[in-house]
Amino acid sequence: MKWSIEQLKSFKLKGLTIDEEVNVEELKERNTDIREITPVHVTGEASFHGNKVTFHLTVKGKMVLPCANTLEDVDFPFVLRPMETFVLEANTNGLDFEVEDEEIHQVSGNTVDLVPYIKENILLEIPIRVVKYSSESEEMPKKSGNGWEVITREQPKEKVDPRMAGLADFFNKENEDN
């Protein structure tokens, strides 16, 4: 997914179509929430406008993230549709191109490499929290487990911790004495 500026210029008339698998395994090191990630399938095309090239991409893949409630593995499939624009050369009037729009990138060196931009878009797609739920089994997320339970605001706290039960009796006896 890397082309020299001269290669891209040669595609100007005939067009450039992309259909590749990209290994993004190193994202697990950059974000520890990602437990597993499959190679992503990148498809798309490039369109040329003067001294700029715009890549219209579709990125499909799947990552495994921890459930926010139970820390169990959750499969998180994703489909991204990023659009990345690169300026291949400076303007011919002698002025350097000023990047005002964040979506436009100046080419550093003599090559355009899409992989870092694909990885960045994947990292931005990671949700803040995921909860394990399977629609096939119609199984709701767990409400309790070994030593924990989910408490909602609407749920009254009527249970008394067995270690504190003796204290509750102490205050009851004290009130009876008065």
Pairing mode of beta strands 148-149, 144-145: antiparallel
Low-confidence ranges of the chain (pLDDT < 50): 92-102, 137
Spatial CA neighbour of 26 closest among 119, 103, 92, 111:
119
C-alpha of 93 from chain center:
41
The pLDDT assigned to 104 comes to: 78
The pLDDT assigned to 13 comes to: 81
The pLDDT assigned to 8 comes to: 84
What does the CA dihedral 1, 122, 106, 55 come to, rounded to 10 degrees? 60
State which amino acid sits at residue 142.
K
Residue 152 to residue 167: CA distance in whole angstroms:
26
Quote the tokens at residue 115.
């992989």
100-124 per-position pLDDT tens digit:
444 777 777 788 888 999 999 999 9
The pLDDT assigned to 94 comes to: 43
The pLDDT assigned to 93 comes to: 47
Q: Can you give the pTM of this predicted structure?
A: 0.68
The pLDDT assigned to 48 comes to: 87
Domain ranges within the chain, ordered by starting residue: 2-125, 148-177
Residue 70 to residue 86: CA distance in whole angstroms:
43
